[in-house]
A and B are shown apart, each in its own frame.
Chain A
């Protein structure tokens, strides 16, 4: 055997072949036409374990990763410290190598962890129900909008704020391109928030939902309460999208602001950056929408003897039962990422989560105060803000990385960049970064 994961001895194979009354394994394939055989010239060399390690390690070394404390990159993925216990726990085979919990009696570990995750998410967002997670932030927004379409099948206009992550807007556009929805971009004000006046002027019964970032793509905390008040007049569904989940440790919850659906990206919650994935899509909402929810949901129940246990439930929304009428084509969740988030939240706890959110906000503001003259918007922000500078490469030469640049998506924001600050940006780095900017 070339394949070290196959467990059959020569004798085993002989025994099975004779039991099956065939001479060789190839006989089991002889009903498949020869013409479908793959090329005999295919070259795909098998390597030893140590050579595989070496080859991939070398590839990883071709990445040039800046020093963590000097990295101020944001824009939908954030550089946070990952507590050591998370890797240890998620690497346990029982979590890592199990399947979707279809047989609840031997999957209580995964099921209870998801149940706890759902609860934590509800507490953070101020919502009543949460699913077991989705692919990522962008697709969670899509699923939130599709949830909305099931509330108002007759409404066809989707509003998205210009201040919402442009990548998320792109993904939404892709998903709705084959349906008769109209995507309308709600313009931003010069202050970097969505335009309330525009909303007030344009609301109508045709509008299905209004999607916005909370905080928005520029890190700014939008006037959600004011928007909800206006949108309520036509009962337009409000969808908040949070890419920096840590912010909900201190910001008013979408729930208390009157938001209908809270979605977002949970990467901040103990999930490594890993070049953009896998991450964690989040979706929570009001109980009234339970049967319109996409994705898996775990519920509590009892076993035959009255002992508490957990199962996948309300499954009739899903593709394996409802097929073409399903609420989503999603088959599963991002269980292991949800587990990471669950451990992360449990470890930080009530005080720690809030404290860490404050650390982020304070360090970000500490930097902001020192480079205020470069800042573009003067609105309350969480841990990310926009600066305008001419020679970013000079800062990169000193090992400071930030961004992404905004001009590609916002032509009016030429020379503008996002700067995110987290607990991994040390005081020294923050002060040095401010100094380097001063010297530009």
Chain B
């Protein structure tokens, strides 16, 4: 067995040694605690003891094992891995924001409230919707908030209704969020163009249907050009249109959700608005609504009167509180900084260039990889592995081989309606050179598959660890370090 010991990083538990410490603490200043002996624990068994030097080295070394957008291309479909401007970080770490305790009186936190107010205003402009809540902590949290509001709107009219319609191309959070809002879901089959079929939808919409959750462009990167008609079909039966804004990057600054007939939508600040993904969070998923839904927004909402900004909890029909405090505040600062830097002209370029680059990739790889749906491509393009599967190579193998080219692979296990999907979203912030390298890599891998499929199936060869055994991880779960 060849083991490359050099690259292995021990865990903090293995680096630990009694007597080492990472930081000097102040004196307690007082003698006693208000806690009797019988309520106290023994030592924290196996908790590590490390010096500060080791802690810094450990995490720095760990960081070097990650791919990141600052390092290079990261074309995960529907994830919008765009450049994260550094100014956003500088501003989010201003002491005037980071040290604000959320329970300070309103008159002392006018800056934070103003920022929330201004960001809401900017998002209202970009969506043309009437109100926005910035409370939700993530896209999925936004979906849940939005669906709860839809339920409330129906409830107020006397019947919460039962079913939420969801296209088969939708992200898994859509059905899960609907269920946690108390609904059953019903899947709508996409037509041969990869879009919603109006006549099929018309048949499905009745008085039991609360809403349709639609992603536009959908997860195939195809714009549902009939969206206005879709909303009319729904509205005619008293149902609502929910827009999953995961792919807002494709048309931001150019087209308007409001004019599409959308009633409720969420935005992902960590996608379209450039806030960093942080290895899986924190994100932020604001929800924008039309006037009819204003009264159902979660509390608090930020308002302004003659004496300044304030938190308004007085919304009798509100769905209630959906989290602690007032939102992912430092993420909001980053998004606002981004919006200010871009302005409307900058946003138009965002959608223009992201669509241009996706089409460039599509044109370059069409023929080498199969394109299941050939409708016009927006910000992302979905190929599949059916040409390569004939040689016994699957999308996941192609993904792993890409790692050897220094490229992060596209999304591979999604959308579910494309078997063997390779879902590529370049975003607007990639240089042509990097895209060309990706295209080269994809073509080269297709060649390799023709010549030596087994070689590709053994990839990756150059990463810190080689292909990991996910079956073992799931069969014998080892979810914490043990002595």
Contacts and interface: CB of A to CB of B under 8 A. Distances in A.
A348 to B, nearest CB: 6
Interface stretch (B54-62, B196-204, B441-449): B54-62
B152 to A, nearest CB: 9
A113 B431 contact: no
Contacts of A278: 137, 281-282, 284, 328-331
B110 to A, nearest CB: 5
A296 B280 contact: yes
A375 to B, nearest CB: 10
Interface stretch (A57-65, A151-159, A184-192, A194-202): A57-65
A256 B39 CA distance: 11
Given A115-B480, A352-B23, A361-B33, A274 B473 contact: no
Interface in B287-320: 298, 319-320
Contacts of A311: 468, 470, 473
B176 interface: yes
Interface string A45-63: 1110101110111011111
B105 to A, nearest CB: 8
Contacts of A44: 122, 125-126, 339, 343-344, 347
Tell me the interface secondary structure of chain B in the complex. loop
Contacts of A349: 16, 20-22, 47-50
A319 B67 CA distance: 25
B280 A275 contact: no
Contacts, number: 683
Given A2-B346, A64-B108, A170 B408 contact: no
Given A7-B432, A336-B279, A275 B97 contact: yes
Nearest to B126: A44
Interface stretch (B222-230, B233-241, B387-395): B222-230
Interface in B408-433: 408-409, 411, 413-414, 428-432
A242 to B, nearest CB: 13
A349 B12 CA distance: 10
A331 B111 contact: no
A373 interface: no
A303 B469 contact: yes
Interface string B65-84: 11111110010100101111
Nearest to B428: A6
Interface stretch (A100-108, A204-212, A231-239): A100-108
Given A20-B359, A99-B79, A102-B76, A307 B180 contact: no
Nearest to B467: A304
A52 B89 CA distance: 13
A326 B172 contact: yes
A65 B100 contact: yes
A440 interface: no
Contact of B91 (A53, A66, A68, A333): A53
Contacts of B60: 89, 92
B194 interface: no
B91 A56 contact: yes
B437 interface: no
Contacts of A60: 91, 94-97, 111
Given A36-B256, A351-B49, A4 B341 contact: yes
Contacts of B281: 100, 133, 278, 332-337
A37 B52 CA distance: 55
Nearest to A364: B34
Interface in B4-46: 4, 8-9, 11-13, 16, 20-23, 25-36, 39-41, 43-46
Contacts of B341: 4, 46-47, 49, 52
A88 B89 CA distance: 12
A347 B22 contact: yes
Contacts of B365: none
B206 to A, nearest CB: 20
Contact of A331 (B140, B181, B408): B140
Contacts of A20: 356, 359-360, 363
A4 B25 CA distance: 44
Interface string A338-361: 010001011111111111101101
A279 interface: yes
B256 A37 contact: yes
Interface string B335-379: 011011111111101101101110110011000000000001010
A391 interface: no
Interface string A3-46: 11111110011011101100001101101110111110011111
B87 interface: yes
B344 A43 contact: yes
B242 to A, nearest CB: 14
Q: Taking each of B29, B64, B94, B403, which has the highest tally of chain A beta carbons within 10 Å of its own beta carbon?
A: B29
Residue among A7, A99, A330, A366 with the most chain B CB within 10 A? A99
A262 interface: no
Contacts of B140: 319, 329-332
Most B CB atoms within 10 A — which of A31, A46, A61? A46
B296 to A, nearest CB: 12
A113 B62 contact: yes
A108 B409 contact: no
Contacts of B108: 63-66
Contacts of B3: 305-307
Contact of B223 (A31, A74, A116, A135): A31
Contacts of A362: 28-33
Contact of B26 (A73, A98, A403, A423): A423
A96 interface: yes
B109 A275 contact: yes
B361 to A, nearest CB: 10
Contacts of A110: 62, 66, 279-280
Given A33-B225, A274-B330, A103 B22 contact: no
B40 A251 contact: yes
A298 B280 contact: no
B22 A334 contact: no
Interface string B466-482: 11111011100111110
Interface in A56-85: 56-57, 59-66, 68, 71, 73-77, 79, 83, 85
Given A306-B3, A323-B175, A323-B185, 15 more contacts: A2-B342, A8-B356, A26-B352, A45-B343, A94-B66, A95-B278, A97-B69, A110-B280, A138-B321, A174-B148, A276-B324, A324-B175, A326-B179, A331-B139, A403-B103
16 contacts: A2-B349, A29-B254, A56-B340, A63-B110, A89-B59, A96-B278, A170-B320, A276-B329, A278-B284, A299-B474, A300-B481, A313-B477, A320-B413, A328-B180, A359-B28, A366-B29
Going nearest first, the 9 A-B pairs with the smallest beta carbon separation are A46-B343, A276-B325, A178-B182, A366-B30, A60-B96, A336-B278, A278-B282, A276-B102, A174-B320
